[in-house]
Chains A and B, each alone.
Chain A
Amino acid sequence: MKLVPIPNYNEYRLNLMFDAYKWDPQFLDNNTIAKYALVISKEEDEELKELTERLDKETRKSEEIINNNLNLAKMLKLPGKIKQEIKLMKNYNPDTHIRLMRYDFHPTCEQKWTVSEVNSDVPGGFAEASIMPQIAIDTLKENKYYYKNFGEILTRAIAKKVPAKGRIMLVHCTSYSDDRQVMQFLGDKLETLGLGVIYGAADHLIFNNNEAISILDGNEGKVDGIFRFTPLEWLIEIKPKHWQGYFNTITPSCNHPIAIFAQTKRFPLIWDALEKQGVDLGTWRKLLPETIEVKEVKGREEYIYKPACGRVGEKISIKEACSENEYEEIIKDVRRHPKRYIAQRKFSSKPVISENGEEFHVCIGSYSVEGMHAGYYARISKLPRIDSNAADIPVLIERS
């Protein structure tokens, strides 16, 4: 794995904004577009592909088992409103829906790869995993690199399950341009496949006989597919409550709320029980650092805390990566709400060093779509915690 500097960086950055849906190039004082491309070898790609597909198989099997035995879900301590609705998911049929996940891999000092989490519910980074690498290749003017086009793989999978010329609603928080940039990329791609696209909010869908109906002004009527980018834990806060239909809809969905079982960081806490049910979790066991209840830490310093429903690295207690007061605030919150967190053995991220000696920590998000590997979304940071301050970097594979 190596960092290759991007020439004509200013032009590259501008091209990403206008041609690659990168509408958030700045976060506070940080530029969110890396000045490098991340190049992995063909062997590394093969290895990540294999690990991703194995993790995905284990995750989807776990979902099936939990859904058939909701007693197992008790230890997940899901939010009360979700707990009530997961009973509706009995009719879940994986063949109807599209399953998309992203596993976050980190190169570490202890072993080659460690996985910090799976983004099981609403992974993002679509254009960064689809157009950004092409623009990087065009800028580098090298033919020794190639990439996996995530957008092509995802949209083809959606088109397989949504009827031809059907309408799909891209459900997101319409007030957030950061959400819209992801949806706009997807919508533009889906339109090229002949699908109709509606940009809407979660409450623009109602459900009749388990089928999704759009009530969005000027776009009313049955929809043939749902792509949800509103996280489940936000969805359930929407009033008035007419979101239960998402849980038992027969309209093809990506992702169906079945995703919540692996989305919670408490998922590893039921692995023992899942293994007793015959689920093989060998790859997860090998790659995810030991995860325990907060109360079991008992002052040991080799553990960090993560919120069970956390996203984009928020509220993770990596001391050296926390801003002023942040660490103390997280610890205070962990003490107040221990069930809302898990403790995970800290791993030592192994930085990648650029030609001019700059060190960056790397997180390679590896997608799976319908069980198959589907490309990469990577971020780099000078700090070992990859969060909103990190920079997006295209992943290129070097031909051998």
Chain B
Amino acid sequence: MTGKDIYKIWAPTDAKWVDWVRPVPFIDINEKLELYEVSNFEIPNINYIHKLIPNTAIIIDIPGSESIKEGLAVAKLGYRPIPIYNGTTETKNARATVNNHLVTMGLIQGAFELKKIEISDKAMPAFLLDSNRMNRYKIDISVFDNSWDIYAQDIPSAEYFLKNNINQIIVRGDKIQKDLRKILYKFQEKGIKILFTNGYEEPKLVKIERILEKDK
């Protein structure tokens, strides 16, 4: 299968929310791609939600292919997983700050699982993010920095969520990362409730504090 074929599984024509699926991790998928399997690609059992929650979107922000597996787990509950990974590959022979290949491999393997799940065209979205995206540590200046941030323009606006009857967003992660906090602070201002879960506990309502200029 080509990158385009895999993309079409994650972003089927006419399904809601799929316009936000980023093509970046699918681009390098071709016959020359060295395939290696993400070990133990199994869809996990999740305990923080047990069924589709009305008027609620999810953002899954955990490492690499784990986010894809968990995206498939919530797909089984009726959510539409929307991959919004945006990291590029390093130049040949260079060490990089983030291994974005793992996401690509996960999306390929995940596509085969996703095909087996029936999702309504009107399903609510679960956005998938790699929490390793902000690994900026460079052992020295020569390293290729392919870390990345999520920006407001990469997801729907607060107005769009509200217009589509979504008034709360659950963030699943170890924490709400800085780039996401910047976006969700503004969502909160516009009346969207933000809930957080570490994956073990029930999602709890949180208040996102404003990010001060010096901390940006």
Residues in chain A within 8 A of chain B (CB atoms): 10, 14, 17-18, 22-23, 25-29, 31, 174-177, 180, 198-201, 203-204, 215-220, 388
CB neighbours (8 Å) of A219 from chain B are 91-94
Bound complex: CA of A198 vs CA of B144, how far in Å?
11
CB distance from A73 to the nearest CB of B (A): 31
CB neighbours (8 Å) of A198 from chain B are 91
Bound complex: CA of A20 vs CA of B132, how far in Å?
28
Interface residue? B145 (CB, 8 A): yes
Given A18-B3, A23-B27, A28-B153, are A217 and B86 also a contact pair (CB < 8 Å)?
no
Known: A14-B7, A218-B95. 5 other contacts (CB 8 A): A14-B8, A175-B146, A176-B148, A219-B91, A219-B94
Interface residue? B4 (CB, 8 A): yes
CB distance from A223 to the nearest CB of B (A): 12
**Which chain B residue has the least Cβ–Cβ distance from A199?**
B91
User: Which of B16-24, B36-44, B167-175 is near enough to bind chain A?
Assistant: B16-24
CB neighbours (8 Å) of A17 from chain B are 4, 7, 23, 27
Interface pair B94/A175, CB less than 8 Å apart: no
Interface pair B8/A218, CB less than 8 Å apart: no
Interface residue? B13 (CB, 8 A): yes
**Which chain A residue has the least Cβ–Cβ distance from B95?**
A217
Q: Which 7 A-B pairs have the closest CB atoms?
A: A218-B93, A199-B91, A217-B142, A217-B94, A17-B23, A180-B88, A218-B94
CB neighbours (8 Å) of A28 from chain B are 152-153, 156-157, 160
Bound complex: CA of A175 vs CA of B135, how far in Å?
11
CB neighbours (8 Å) of A175 from chain B are 145-149
Bound complex: CA of A355 vs CA of B83, how far in Å?
36
Interface pair A174/B149, CB less than 8 Å apart: no
CB distance from B205 to the nearest CB of A (A): 26
Interface pair B7/A18, CB less than 8 Å apart: yes
Interface pair B157/A177, CB less than 8 Å apart: no
Interface pair A177/B88, CB less than 8 Å apart: yes
Interface pair A200/B4, CB less than 8 Å apart: no
CB neighbours (8 Å) of B87 from chain A are 177
Max count, chain A CB within 10 A of own CB: residue among B27, B91, B156: B91
Residues of B in contact, count (CB < 8 Å): 37
Interface pair A216/B91, CB less than 8 Å apart: yes
CB neighbours (8 Å) of A174 from chain B are 88, 144-146
Interface pair A29/B88, CB less than 8 Å apart: no
CB distance from A175 to the nearest CB of B (A): 5
Interface residue? B33 (CB, 8 A): no
Given A180-B88, A218-B95, are A18 and B146 also a contact pair (CB < 8 Å)?
no
CB distance from A17 to the nearest CB of B (A): 4
CB distance from A208 to the nearest CB of B (A): 16
CB distance from B56 to the nearest CB of A (A): 19
Residues in chain B within 8 A of chain A (CB atoms): 2-4, 7-8, 13, 19-20, 22-24, 26-27, 86-88, 90-95, 141-149, 152-153, 156-157, 159-160
Bound complex: CA of A14 vs CA of B2, how far in Å?
12
Interface pair B22/A23, CB less than 8 Å apart: yes
CB distance from A47 to the nearest CB of B (A): 35
CB neighbours (8 Å) of B27 from chain A are 17-18, 23
Bound complex: CA of A272 vs CA of B92, how far in Å?
50
Max count, chain A CB within 10 A of own CB: residue among B2, B92, B147: B92
Interface pair B160/A29, CB less than 8 Å apart: yes
CB neighbours (8 Å) of B148 from chain A are 175-177
Interface pair B156/A29, CB less than 8 Å apart: yes
Given A18-B4, A177-B86, A388-B153, are A26 and B20 also a contact pair (CB < 8 Å)?
yes
Max count, chain B CB within 10 A of own CB: residue among A22, A28, A203: A28
Q: Which of B13, B86, B144, B147 contacts A216 (CB 8 A)?
A: B144
**Which chain A residue has the least Cβ–Cβ distance from B87?**
A177
Interface pair B160/A217, CB less than 8 Å apart: no
CB neighbours (8 Å) of B152 from chain A are 28
CB distance from B14 to the nearest CB of A (A): 8
> Can you list 20 A-B contacts (CB < 8 A)?
A10-B13, A14-B8, A17-B23, A17-B27, A18-B4, A22-B23, A26-B19, A28-B156, A29-B157, A29-B159, A31-B19, A180-B88, A203-B141, A216-B142, A217-B93, A217-B94, A217-B95, A217-B143, A218-B93, A388-B153
CB neighbours (8 Å) of A23 from chain B are 22-24, 27
CB neighbours (8 Å) of A216 from chain B are 91, 94, 142, 144
CB distance from A131 to the nearest CB of B (A): 14
Max count, chain B CB within 10 A of own CB: residue among A10, A215, A217, A218: A217
Bound complex: CA of A151 vs CA of B157, how far in Å?
34
CB distance from B68 to the nearest CB of A (A): 18
Bound complex: CA of A199 vs CA of B51, how far in Å?
45
CB distance from B12 to the nearest CB of A (A): 10
**Which chain B residue has the least Cβ–Cβ distance from A197?**
B91
Q: Which of B95, B141, B157 contacts A215 (CB 8 A)?
A: B141
Interface pair B144/A200, CB less than 8 Å apart: yes
CB distance from B57 to the nearest CB of A (A): 14
Max count, chain B CB within 10 A of own CB: residue among A14, A29, A175, A215: A175
Bound complex: CA of A180 vs CA of B25, how far in Å?
13
**Which chain A residue has the least Cβ–Cβ distance from B142?**
A217
Max count, chain A CB within 10 A of own CB: residue among B2, B3, B86, B144: B144
